[in-house]
Amino acid sequence: MLSPTETALAVLFALSAGVLLLPRLYAALAFLHLYTLHRSALRSYVHSPRSFALVTGASDGIGRALALELAGLGFNLILHGRNGEKLERVRAEVLAHLGQGEGPQAREVRVWVQDAAERDIDWEAVGRMWADLELTVLVNNVGASAIESEPLDRQPLAYVNRSVQLNALFPFNLTHTVLPLLRALPSPTLVLTVGSMAGELPPPHFAAYSASKAFLERFVHALDLDERLVQRSRVRFHYLQTATVMNSSGVIKRTGWDVPTSEDYARGAVQVVGARRRKVFPWMAHGLQAAVLPLLPDWLTEQIIVKAVSDLAKEE
């Protein structure tokens, strides 16, 4: 028989364990629900036949795949990229995917040719281009980084600045320009920003890229708080946290359980829209990786990341 004191301590211990474990249990159940029972809310942002989605970096890879998914859901599109010929090919692919031509009832697919790494963009003029559109979704997808073999100080400063402009300042300025248009609509609107685990677990020689992605995550966090709790607007935000995705640039050349194709990733991104959290993982395996790595000692996590980047460099 336990004494009253021992019984009280046992109950206190059980309650304390429950308090500590319940948040983890809830997080695990929410994680499973997201990839099994959750229904995408992306189609709810199509408010009329004139609803547009703007996708940056849409000439290939994740951007192209997301554009095709959005078109299939009923959006008109603005395709952004720096290569006009590639964008026109994607435009033709979208229209063929929809099974339509250029008639008066055809879905509208516009092209915006703009180098995202260019510093002197006339953002006021950009905003005027879409002032009369029902723009309901912005997808900040554009971004890139090569596998670097040199530390930051040995990378040309112009190259480093270009990386920051491309990966951080372009989506920052574009969101600043588009946000008033999104907020002005009477129905809910959405901003999706494609992130990178490099912003949390930086690989070697990725200082500019990793800092840019960490900046984007905090930027989305701050905007979400502003619009939801202070402005009380209908603009919603998701930061699409991302690990390795097979891409058209040839940097990632294989697929696997943890490396989706751009098309699989895009389908996952559509699926997680509407989740009750700002940061979501379109690919389930990326979420599992993000949950497990922080449990490891820092030195081991760093060694895993260094080896992964070294293996990628050998494949080039």
Catalytic residue of the set 45, 209, 239, 265? 209
- Report the residue count for the chain: 316
Q: Is 159 a catalytic residue?
A: no
Neighbours of 78 (CB within 10 A): 23
**Beta-bridge partners for 52:** 76, 135
Q: Nearest to residue 273, comparing CAs of 59, 69, 63?
A: 69
Distance separating alpha carbons of residues 94 and 114, to the nearest angstrom: 20
Contact criterion met (CB below 8 Å) for 249 and 18: no
Q: Is 188 helix (H, G, I), strand (E, B) or coil?
A: coil
CA distances from 52 to 48, 77, 202 (A): 9, 5, 35
Q: What is the DSSP letter of 63?
A: H
Catalytic site positions: 209
